[in-house]
Chain A
Amino acid sequence: ETQLEESGGGLVQPGGSLRLSCAVSGFIFSDYSMNWVRQAPGKGLEWLSYITRDGSGMIYVDSVKGRFTISRDNAKGSLYLQMNSLRVEDTAVYYCVRDYNYAFDIWGQGTMVTVSS
């Protein structure tokens, strides 16, 4: 069964850091580009970042450029999101998402990140 499982969420103070992980199973990880998408409480979905199959190319939404870094380890079947300089407005459920033909076909269940003092 194709699965994505996020971990690493939690409570962090403004200005702090967190590293999210996404473990994949059921498909050949290195065959797919990957993304992170988030949903703040009461808000809509927001695409955050994309990484190519081999990890050589990344794209970020303006609101996280310079603060968040996407990476992957194909040998481990894992996707990561390093989040620095966190702000209250980064509070959200963060989803790991597989890319398929410029769409998002497989989603994890999400991990909650709360930024609060």
Chain B
Amino acid sequence: QSAPTQPPSASGSPGQSVTISCTGTSSDVGGYNFVSWYQHHPGKAPKVLIYEVNKRPSGVPDRFSGSKSGNTASLTVSGLQAEDEADYYCCSFAGSNSGWVFGGGTKLTVL
């Protein structure tokens, strides 16, 4: 089972928006509405930003939004801030025999 594909890097200036894609298959991203996104600052525990494709846990700013079309999920970060610079990972449920699969990760740089 291979990992969903994410671009290795993305960047934007403060105040801009950036979208990170996560392309999987019909066995994971396309097959379930259980895509989640995580923000990971090195040395700290990852933090969930989005679950079930487009739901935000309490406390996550509405600058973070998720969507999905076919086998590709997307995370959009609007109004970029310096503290958004981090690694971002998508994750999809892949069935009760396979469990979950993380994307390869995207390093977001705020210019």
Residues of A within 8 A of B (CB): 35, 37, 44-47, 49-50, 59-62, 95, 100-105, 107-110
Q: List 28 A-B contacts (CB under 8 A).
A: A44-B87, A44-B103, A44-B105, A45-B40, A45-B89, A45-B91, A45-B105, A46-B102, A47-B91, A47-B101, A50-B100, A59-B97, A95-B46, A100-B48, A100-B51, A101-B34, A101-B52, A101-B55, A102-B36, A102-B93, A103-B52, A104-B38, A104-B91, A105-B48, A105-B51, A107-B45, A107-B46, A110-B45
Which 9 pairs between the two chains have the least Cβ-Cβ distance? A103-B51, A102-B34, A103-B36, A107-B45, A44-B105, A47-B100, A59-B99, A45-B102, A102-B93
Residues of B within 8 A of A (CB): 1, 3, 32, 34, 36, 38, 40, 44-48, 51-52, 55, 57, 87, 89, 91, 93, 96-105
Closest chain-B Cβ to A60's Cβ sits at a distance in Å of: 7
B48 and A103 form a contact (CB under 8 A): yes
For residue B44, which residues in chain A have a CB less than 8 angstroms away from its CB?
109
For residue A60, which residues in chain B have a CB less than 8 angstroms away from its CB?
99
B48 and A47 form a contact (CB under 8 A): no
For residue A61, which residues in chain B have a CB less than 8 angstroms away from its CB?
1, 99
For residue A100, which residues in chain B have a CB less than 8 angstroms away from its CB?
48, 51
Query: Count of A-B contacts with CB under 8 A?
Result: 69
Given contacts A45-B38, A47-B101, A50-B99, contact A103 B45 (CB under 8 A): no
A95 and B34 form a contact (CB under 8 A): no
For residue B32, which residues in chain A have a CB less than 8 angstroms away from its CB?
102
In the complex, which of the residues B34, B55, B104 contacts A44, with contact meaning CB atoms closer than 8 Å?
Answer: B104
Closest chain-B Cβ to A68's Cβ sits at a distance in Å of: 13
Q: Which residue of B lies closest to A46 (CB)?
A: B102
Bound: A37/B105 CA distance, A: 14
